[in-house]
Amino acid sequence: MKLRTLCYWLAAALLLGCQSPLQNGDTRTEIYLPLLEGRQVAVFSNHTGLVGDRHLVDILLENQVNVTAIFSPEHGFRGKADAGAGVSDGTDPETGVPILSLYGNSGEVHPSAEDMSRFDVLVVDIQDVGLRFYTYYITLCHLVDACGEHGKEVIILDRPNPNGHYVDGPVLDMALKSGVGHLPIPVVHGLTLAELVGMAQGEGWLTEAGNRCKVTSVLCKNYTHGTPCEIPAPPSPNLPNLQAIYLYPSLCPFEGTVVSLGRGTDKPFQQYGHPAMEGRYAYHFTPESRPGAQDPPLKGQICYGVDLSALPDARTIGLDLSYVIDAYSILREKGQAEGFFSPFFDKLLGVQWVREMIEEGCSTAEIRERWQPEVEAFKALRHKYLLYEE
């Protein structure tokens, strides 16, 4: 019996030892470094562009790659700016490489002709979270368009999508295209950045120049869409951990309401509340100014609501509108539903009918039933562009 048990554990250990660890595209230097020899290179990245515990830019410079510019997205290259805050151009103090912001105070999201003259090839290494309203992919689409227009090549060092294991939510009504919705895709699209760019080009969703831009993708190794993955750093100031990232599809719609989702607290995107919800809930929090949330909604006010930071299996809940419906129902009972939704809510959801159904008193199941045919149609289209197994 003891020998049989020992053999079992030896076999298990051998099996585990044979399972290769997941590798991001940026670790596969043997593939992409030869493509950069003798070329001027720009990098689209931020604080998440880590290869182990070092930044991609440092790895490139160490290997004598001529890095001439860094493009930074929302939150800036160091990932510290507030959501939606303009970020100025600058210089990376650690490397001396110029930083060109694509989220500046002017609102211009397209790189200038002068910016594009600085390089031959653009290398992309940034951690996305797989949501239509998360802006990194939008910045990348603008860059691919610009690279196509100026005859530049793009190399995407792909990364896992922590929400890549499912597809959910309504497809964007392009009449509501905005800075938080750029492509006709569901709220949760289930694609890595390499797959999403491939789909955008394949379906002709970019500009004519962007659709013909040469894009090379260095894929993750040992990754499937069902693979749970860690992230090297919080992708933005208010997504501090995987719990927040998993809850992001369900709680981000609160950005278009009068309810706080925890910005200005130690649990952003992991709780929600409003002063008028006192009496229904005892749990409470008070938003205050802090890095990444200098002026949060309901600042200094006690918000009563729900703590989801310890919610089990948050990875499996999908896009759950029950939280928004809960808060709306409470404020309506108290006669405070007027002005609950702002126009931004429709932009986040990508359609008007979700808000209308909530206002009509429809349930989460009824709303989900309406968007499900769109999800199934998108999943069939998405399958053509998958670079990894499900």
pLDDT digits (tens, 9 = 90+) for 270-323: 999 999 999 999 999 999 999 889 999 999 999 999 999 999 999 999 999 999
Among 41-50, 83-92, 264-273, 379-388, which is the least confidently predicted range? 83-92
What span, in angstroms and rounded, lies between the C-alpha atoms of 207 and 164? 26
Across all residues in the chain, what is the average pLDDT? 91
Q: How many CA within 13 A on the CB side of residue 359?
A: 15
Predicted pLDDT at 232: 85
Residue 198 is predicted with a pLDDT of 98
Instruction: CATH number for 25-218: choose from 3.30.70.260, 3.40.630.30, 3.40.50.12170, 3.50.50.60.
Output: 3.40.50.12170
pLDDT band at 23 (very low <50, low <70, confident <90, very high): very high
- What is d(CA 164, CA 175) in angstroms, rounded to the nearest whole number? 26
Q: Which pLDDT value is given to residue 38?
A: 97
Max CA distance (Å), the chain: 74
pLDDT at 1 exceeding the cut of 70: no
Q: Is the pLDDT reported for residue 9 higher than 80?
A: no
pLDDT tops 50 at residue 113:
yes
CA distances from 167 to 378, 381, 382 (A): 8, 12, 10
Instruction: Identify whether the C-beta of residue 187 lies closer than 8 Å to the C-beta of residue 319.
Output: yes
Q: For 28-39, what is each residue's pLDDT tens digit?
A: 999 999 999 999
Q: What is the pLDDT of residue 93?
A: 82
- Summarised one tens digit per residue, pLDDT across range 255-275 is 999 999 999 999 999 999 999
pLDDT score of 78: 57
Mean pLDDT over 211-218 rounds to 98
Burial 103-136 (b: 16+ CB within 10 A, else e): beeeeebebeeebbeebebbbbbbbbbbbbbbbb
For residue 16, name the pLDDT band (cuts at 50, 70, 90). very low
In angstroms, rounded to a whole number, what is the distance separating the alpha carbons of residues 139 and 211? 15
Q: How far apart are the first and last CA of the chain?
A: 39
Residue 19, pLDDT score: 55
Contacts 24+ apart (CB under 8 A), 105-112: 109/138, 109/139, 109/142, 109/179, 110/142, 110/145, 110/146, 111/71, 111/142, 111/143, 111/146
Q: What tens digit of pLDDT does each residue of 326-367 get?
A: 999 999 999 999 999 999 999 999 999 999 999 999 999 999
Judged by average pLDDT, the poorest of 7-11, 84-88, 205-209, 309-313 is 7-11
Write down the pLDDT at residue 292.
85
Looking at 3.90.1150, 3.30.70, 1.10.730, 3.40.50, the CATH number of the domain 242-359 comes to: 3.90.1150
Compute the half-sphere exposure of residue 172: CA atoms within 13 Å on the CB side of its CA.
21
Q: What does the pLDDT look like over 56-112, one tens digit per residue? A: 999 999 999 999 999 988 655 754 444 444 455 788 888 899 999 886 544 557 899
Q: How would residue 5 be classed by pLDDT, with cut points 50, 70 and 90?
A: very low
The answer to whether the 25-218 and 242-359 domains have the same CATH topology is: no
Structural domain spans, the chain: 25-218, 242-359
pLDDT at 56: 96
Q: Does the pLDDT at position 17 exceed 60? A: no
